Amino acid sequence: MDTNLSLQEPAEASDVGGMTRMGTSMDADEQLLESGFATSLPPLENGCAAGCCVRFCGARRIGNMALLWEEPQPEDPANPRRIILGPFWPMLVLCTYPLIIGVSLAMAITMLPGQPWWISTIFGVVLVVVLVSLACTACTDPGMLRRHAERPSAPDGESWNYSDQAQTYRPVGAIYCRDCGVVVRGYDHLCPWTGTAIGERNLRVFYCFVASVNFLLFYVLFIVVYGIWTGDKTV
C-alpha cells in the first residue's frame, strides 16, 4: 500500500518496494528519473514479467509495466496513445484468454449446431465483445502518474501528499501499486486476470469486460436450457 509522508521531503535512503534505494545501481536510478513517471524500478532479476518484454520485444520498462508502443496525440500531447502490459500479463495470455476461448469453442462445437441462427449470432457478438474489452483493459494505460518533485500550486496542490515509494507528490485517489511499481490515478484494484492495475483510464472498459463476460456465462446457460427444452440436444 501507499506510504505517505505528508509534509516531509524524501530521505536519501528511502525504502522502495522492500529495497533501499542506496542499494540500487546508478543505471536503475537514471532510468527511474528519465522515465518521467512516478515509479519505483526493481532490478530485472527480481522476477518481474516485464523483464521478458524488455529483453525479447524491445519494450520500454516503466516500473513493472512494459510499454510496447506509444504515439503522441497532437490534440492532447500530455496523454499519448499507449499499448502497455501489466506485471501479470503471463496470466492473461496463459490462463484468462485460453479459458474464455476454450470454453467458448467447446460450447460452439457441442451446443450451437442445429440451433436457430440468431442464437449463434448473439453468441458470436458477445464473445467478440468479451475478447476485445479484455484486450483493451489489459493493454490500456491505467492512469500512470508522472513524477511531481514539488507539490503543485494551490488550490489543487493543497490536497496532494508525498509518496515515499515512488518519490513523488500524488493527488487524492492516486495510489502507489507495489505490483505494478507505479502510481496510478483513480486506482481501483489490481486484477491478475487482466494482468494489470485498474485505474481511471481503463476502469470503464474493465466494467465492459466484466459485464460482457457475465452476460456470456448466463447466455451459455440459456443455450443449454433452450437446447434441452426444444429437444435439439441431449446433455
The Cα 103–Cα 178 span in angstroms is 33
Amino acid 32: pLDDT = 45
Amino acid 139: pLDDT = 96
Give the residues across from 183 on adjacent strands. 176
- 3-state DSSP call for residue 66? strand
Model pLDDT for residues 14-47, shown as the tens digit of each residue: 333 333 333 333 344 444 444 578 776 554 444 4
Amino acid 15: pLDDT = 36
Amino acid 45: pLDDT = 45
- 3-state DSSP call for residue 104? helix
C-alpha cell at 82: 499507449
User: Across 4-13, 53-62, 175-184, which has the greatest mean pLDDT?
Assistant: 175-184
**Domains of the chain: which residue ranges?**
1-85+145-185, 88-143+186-235
The Cα 113–Cα 109 span in angstroms is 7
pLDDT band at 91 (very low <50, low <70, confident <90, very high): very high
Question: Does residue 194 have a pLDDT over 80?
Answer: yes
pLDDT band at 54 (very low <50, low <70, confident <90, very high): low
Model pLDDT for residues 126-157, shown as the tens digit of each residue: 999 999 999 999 999 999 999 888 888 877 77
Question: Does residue 208 have a pLDDT over 60?
Answer: yes
Amino acid 182: pLDDT = 93
The Cα 141–Cα 44 span in angstroms is 21
Amino acid 95: pLDDT = 97
Model pLDDT for residues 152-186, shown as the tens digit of each residue: 887 777 889 998 888 899 999 999 999 999 999 99
The Cα 62–Cα 72 span in angstroms is 17
Mean pLDDT across 80-106: 94
CA atoms within 13 Å, Cβ hemisphere of 14: 19
Between 23 and 211, name the one with better pLDDT: 211
C-alpha cell at 1: 500500500
Beta strands 189-191; 182-184: pairing state: unpaired
Tell me the C-alpha to C-alpha distance, in Å, between residue 94 and each of 16, 88, 219. 30, 10, 25
Q: Interior CA angle at 152 toward 147 and 153, to 5°? A: 165
C-alpha cell at 196: 494489470
Distance of CA 179 to the CA centre of its chain: 11
C-alpha cell at 37: 513517471
Amino acid residing at 214: N
Amino acid 88: pLDDT = 93
The Cα 138–Cα 49 span in angstroms is 14
Q: DSSP string of 63-115?
A: TTEEEEEEE--TT-TTS-EEEEE-TTHHHIIIIIHHHHHHHHHHHHHHTSTTS
The Cα 182–Cα 166 span in angstroms is 7
Question: Does residue 232 have a pLDDT over 70?
Answer: no
The Cα 170–Cα 158 span in angstroms is 11
Amino acid 21: pLDDT = 34
